[in-house]
Chain A
């Protein structure tokens, strides 16, 4: 369990972001990935969480396009990373309306600014193929629920 007077789970995540890394946790006992970062594994309560750096490749699980006034359409998506965890992000580099479920994507770390710390977005992976398993729920012990 981390010493919360010294460092928070989100703080550690951010340190990785600053290095251009998308970090997640794994429970050592059962190998299950944990995201968002926590002080203990959800469901099991195990405190054996180890930090890992994702390869940053995943598949679009769900997507929407937000229409804010006087702004170009904005993509918001849920991405299933190949390591077995899911996160909210957006897919850049193509029109928001062309982001499709099943699309393969690769992480890109944005530097952020004074108000917003660095954060990960995604772009279509080269030769973007639809992932064959994308139509069903990821099954490989994604969460400890």
Chain B
């Protein structure tokens, strides 16, 4: 049995404090702060939560640790850990659980203090004897090799990659919560410190503290809560590999699988989407996902993003929060990717609000282009 469009809805979302948190703050402090803010957002109480979904790099057994911290005993718990797209996966699993009556109110939470404790401490690398001897700088080098392949096959340029960073920065300047506060030019991206060719530091996401929470319930119960529900219209999950040397084709991601699944469930096409939230760990990733999700033909992503096309005022609003590149990237960014999409559908985005935003797509990426999960959100008018 497959899940049904609109059977569940997002009713509460919140970020934890973002950026740089106080010394000795724990990832669980951030998850809990996000949780209580999200409860406030929807008017539900802690005791209403009977499903806990969570993943983090610093908390190995997330649902257990978070349930203890919150002092709740959930009926359903899921710690699926597939990197940054874990939270999209949690939405799909929460939907199945709620549809089957296993739980009624699902909490999805994330927290990281990677800026405070260092990325190396927050996400220790696993040794792979077939890769580690070559000392790739992970994860940037994996994405850089994928970019090298895209550039080779399709003529994608470093300037086109830089367009993605510049567009993100323009959106970030419209978001008071964004980390970056200064304008950015293509030349500045190209001339920044080289990290792993073709990426300079400005092609790479931020390394910050942060987290958040999302609360979902059945479509029926969602109608009686504080804000208008944001319905889950479609979900799709896909895995293609774990290590970059085992990725079948470095120019095609499993978003080409997860996207069509989500669109089929939603009964929609890319042309129906008003706003797109794409996991931008590196400037190449939105290019891949625009192609693989069907917003442009394969190989055209670099040309698609050129001339400010995904920046404010462009042809497709992408990453209106400022993205992982300029707003916040706390290690696993997928939950924040979805929160922005939900807020756009709710019309809560003030200066960066996309006009008449009825349908928003959030796409998560995990590992080294390894896991790809898509969620399509819709306003009550889409039901």
Contact = CB atoms under 8 A, between A and B. Distances in A.
B245 A10 contact: no
Contact of B248 (A62, A116, A119, A143): A143
Interface in A96-145: 97, 101-102, 116-117, 119, 121, 135, 137, 143, 145
B250 A88 contact: no
A77 B145 contact: yes
B130 A87 contact: yes
Interface stretch (B36-44, B190-198, B219-227): B190-198
A78 B247 CA distance: 10
Given A67-B196, A145-B248, A62 B135 contact: no
Given A64-B148, A88-B131, A135 B153 contact: yes
Given A76-B134, A101-B148, A64 B141 contact: yes
A100 B249 CA distance: 18
A127 to B, nearest CB: 22
B108 to A, nearest CB: 30
A66 interface: yes
Question: Chain A CB within 10 Å — which of B144, B146, B243 has the most?
Answer: B144
Nearest to A96: B197
A39 interface: no
Nearest to A90: B134
Nearest to B135: A74
A59 interface: no
Interface string B186-215: 000000011111100000000000000000
Given A135-B152, A145-B248, A66 B136 contact: yes
A121 B134 CA distance: 9
A121 B133 CA distance: 10
Interface residues of B, number: 29
Question: Chain A CB within 10 Å — which of B134, B141, B149 has the most?
Answer: B134
A121 B135 CA distance: 12
A144 B138 CA distance: 26
B191 to A, nearest CB: 14
B146 to A, nearest CB: 7
Question: Chain B CB within 10 Å — which of A65, A74, A78, A89 has the most?
Answer: A78
Contacts of B245: 36, 78, 86-88
Interface string B145-187: 1101100110000000000000000000000000000000000
Nearest to B130: A36
A130 to B, nearest CB: 11
B244 interface: yes
Interface string B226-248: 00000000000000000111101
Interface in B105-135: 129-131, 133-135
A101 B195 contact: no
B137 interface: yes
B41 to A, nearest CB: 42
A63 B148 contact: yes
B134 A62 contact: no
Interface string A63-87: 1111110000010111000000011
Nearest to A14: B129
B148 A119 contact: no
A145 B248 CA distance: 9
Contacts of A119: 133-134
A64 B282 CA distance: 14
Contacts of B246: 36, 86, 143
A137 B129 CA distance: 25
B244 A64 contact: no
Given A66-B136, A66-B196, A101-B149, 19 more contacts: A62-B145, A62-B149, A63-B145, A64-B141, A64-B196, A64-B197, A65-B197, A67-B194, A67-B196, A68-B137, A74-B135, A76-B136, A77-B145, A86-B246, A87-B130, A88-B131, A88-B136, A102-B152, A137-B249
13 contacts: A36-B245, A62-B145, A64-B144, A64-B197, A66-B196, A76-B135, A76-B141, A78-B145, A86-B246, A88-B244, A88-B245, A119-B133, A145-B248
Interface of B: 129-131, 133-137, 141, 144-146, 148-149, 152-153, 193-198, 243-246, 248-250
A-B pairs with lowest CB-CB distance, top 3: A62-B145, A64-B144, A65-B197
